Amino acid sequence: MVTAERLKARIDKQPRVRLANLPTPLEEMPRLAKLLNGPRLWIKRDDCTGLAFGGNKERKAEFSLADALRKKADVIITTGGIQSNHVRATTSAARKLGLDVILVIYGKKPEEYDGNLLLDYLLGAQIRYVKSGGPKFDVVSRSIVEELEKKGRVPYVILGGASYPVGAIAYANALLELLDQAKDRGFKIDYIVHAAGSGGTQAGLILANKAIKSKIRILGMCDEPEGNWLIKKTVEIAEETAKLLDLRVSIEPKDVTLIVDYAGEEYGALTSEALEAIKLVGQTEGILLDPVYTGKAMAGVIDMIRRRRFKKNDNVVFIHTGGTPALFAYKQELYSN
């Protein structure tokens, strides 16, 4: 066990470039809580990290790109789907640092550019499309690295979602930031709920939570219906991150609470519950969630409140991990009159 101060000191020793607007605001959602007649609800506005539209990947970019700069990289290679928030966030952060970006996007080049993909284009990323189910990113990125090195460039590869130990440090740090804010506001957090996709966010949160022996329950709402692989990956990232931060904490599968019930049929497919959640939070609190991650995660919170899974005096903090540019790419599914 370490104290929060000691953990903070270790995180502060890691290479980091300041890019995000931090701390992000912690806001209460009294109108939503009243309507649902549930616990006290809070929202941590990580959608307000700045750069190009904000989100959790901006926090990770502070650490991943610092590592890239330390290794003298001049071009970043990373990957995601057509509407990846990670590639958009990483591209904008890399541009701000004067780095070039090559994106390996899984999917077919669409006729129309919308949402995140439009932003990738405007930010000047070089995009290479690979068909879904085609060669894996490690293979594709290796050949791009060889190609660039022949030209005398210094590439740095960031895995999908920046869900590797360097990126996960950002959410160990975010947990400490959130604890400070709750303390200032005079309340104790019972639950943190967030959307989970590639594991880095949850790995950082649970590692910091366990390291300082905090009793907060952290619920990851999975963005796809099959979650077993993600629990394993989250444990691995958390274990590696512990080593990086020199923490003697062991993370086990039972430390990872991953809820798959609100993911719908598949990753990226909008659910009617997520649509309801987006409208409800928008219309009660004026905050927009996204269709792929935070809408589904909030649908989970709403359902759990309706099923009385929280106590009336619990404080539940929802981390808004961003993703809002995807709203525009989903306009057909989102809009009905």
Ligand X SMILES: *Cc1c(COP(=O)(O)O)cnc(C)c1O
- What CA–CA distance (Å, rounded) separates 236 from 230? 10
CB of 293 to ligand X, least distance (A): 3
Of these, 39, 200, 227, 300, which contacts ligand X (CB under 6 A)?
A: 200
DSSP per-residue string spanning 240-290: HHHHHTT------GGG-EEE-TTS-SSTT---HHHHHHHHHHHHHH-----
Return the half-sphere exposure (C-beta side, CA atoms, 13 A cut-off) of residue 290.
28
Query: Which position's Cβ is nearest ligand X?
Result: 323
84 flagged as catalytic: yes
Sheet holding 217-222, edge to edge: 26-28, 40-44, 315-319, 191-196, 217-222, 257-259
Size of the site for ligand X (CB under 6 A): 21
Q: Which stretch binds ligand X (CB under 6 A): 135-143, 200-208, 238-246, 307-315?
A: 200-208
Give the residue, chosen from 125, 321, 325, 329, that forms a contact with ligand X under the rule CB under 6 A. Answer: 321
SS3 173: helix
Q: Please, which of residues 221-280 interact with ligand X by CB under 6 A?
A: none
Catalytic residue among 64, 84, 163, 198: 84
Q: By rule CB under 6 A, what string of x and - marks binding of each residue 49-78 to ligand X?
A: ------xxx---------------------
CB of 321 to ligand X, least distance (A): 3
When the beta carbons of 185 and 229 are compared against ligand X, the nearer one is 229
Report CA Rg, the chain.
19
d(CA 66, CA 50): 18
- Distance CA(124)–CA(51), nearest Å, equals 15
Residues designated catalytic: 84
Residues that bind ligand X (CB under 6 A): 55-57, 85-86, 161, 163, 195-202, 290, 293-294, 321-323
